[in-house]
Homo-oligomer: A and B are copies of this chain.
Amino acid sequence: MNRVKIGYAQFCPEFGNRVANLAKVQKMVKDGGNADLLVFAELGVSGYDFRDREELISLAEPFDGGPTSLALIELAEEYSISLIIGYPEVSGEKVYNSCMLVTPDGKKYNYRKTHLFSRETLIFDAGDAPPPVISTPAGKIGLMICFDWVYPEIARLLTLAGAQIIAHPSNLVLQFCQKAMFARSVENGVFTITANRIGTEDRAGRSLTFTGASQVLDPKGNILAQAPDDEEHLAIIEVDLSRADDKFLTEHNHLLEGRRVDLYSGLVNL
């Protein structure tokens, strides 16, 4: 069974209002009907532009037993769906920009963003583990968050670890990413789902407007679905996962076996 229904749910999180945001997630999952996978935005549970680390900590929660994981597990079981959403994670003295994946059988997985963007570097701790790939009923899903897209190393690591779909919760304020994900899909031969948010946050004298345009791309870079820049949008697309397993670009070119690892040592020199 290689056909699965995957998509994104684009909305405007309300800053600091977890209850309202999880209610919105619940509603969009319900609206999504029988999807196998829905991806929500980075920090979709909390909003984005924390004044400082103190405010961030006050809105953060643990991965194990926190309100978001409890709510999502319930939802995932009820709707028999895999769900991904970003949230601020507290763990001891650390606070991460994380996303969690929950599966219909109630299991949960976590990824802590490794490449922090701009002021995130001032208030978050960066993750210290390579991005994970998780086997779910919706396929093998690799996780990366927003600015990770700039680093082709991350999508490549996910692909080498077997990802068929790269799920990519984001809070994008420009649209470079949406355009560049064409290359990420094609160079790796995977489906990509970039789930962005919409709306404006006016906080601490700053104004940030997010650019929407969430999208699902196939392994050839075709846009299967794309959201408007500034409206709520839910897209669910049926795809054949075996397309992500076929890495032959020509009969003589296997995308991954064609890598010249013998020449790549410069990529990991400090």
- Closest CB of chain B to A107's CB: distance in Å? 23
User: A7: which B residues are within 8 A, CB to CB?
Assistant: none
Say if the beta carbon of A1 comes within 8 Å of chain B. Answer: no
User: A262: which B residues are within 8 A, CB to CB?
Assistant: 128
Most buried by B among A128, A250, A255: A250
A160 engages B115 (CB within 8 Å): no
Cα distance, A128 to B264, chains bound together (Å): 11
User: A255: which B residues are within 8 A, CB to CB?
Assistant: 150
User: A249: which B residues are within 8 A, CB to CB?
Assistant: 150
Say if the beta carbon of A57 comes within 8 Å of chain B. Answer: no
Binds B, one of A26-34, A42-50, A80-88, A174-182: A174-182
Say if the beta carbon of A265 comes within 8 Å of chain B. Answer: yes
Q: Which residues from 65 to 92 on chain A have a C-beta closer than 8 Å to any C-beta of chain B?
A: none
B263 engages A270 (CB within 8 Å): no
User: A266: which B residues are within 8 A, CB to CB?
Assistant: 130, 157, 160-161
Say if the beta carbon of A206 comes within 8 Å of chain B. Answer: no
User: A270: which B residues are within 8 A, CB to CB?
Assistant: 261
Using CB atoms, name the residue of chain B closest to A147.
B253
Cα distance, A126 to B268, chains bound together (Å): 23
- Per-position 1/0 for A140-184, Cβ under 8 A of B: 000000010011110011001100000000000000100110111
A150 engages B187 (CB within 8 Å): yes
Contacts known (A179-B182, A180-B186); A264 close to B253, Cβ less than 8 A: no
User: A204: which B residues are within 8 A, CB to CB?
Assistant: none
Say if the beta carbon of A205 comes within 8 Å of chain B. Answer: no
Say if the beta carbon of A118 comes within 8 Å of chain B. Answer: yes
Cα distance, A187 to B126, chains bound together (Å): 20
Contacts known (A156-B152, A259-B153, A268-B261); A221 close to B179, Cβ less than 8 A: yes
Given contacts A152-B152, A176-B186, 6 further A-B contacts (CB under 8 A): A153-B264, A153-B267, A157-B264, A160-B269, A180-B186, A268-B268
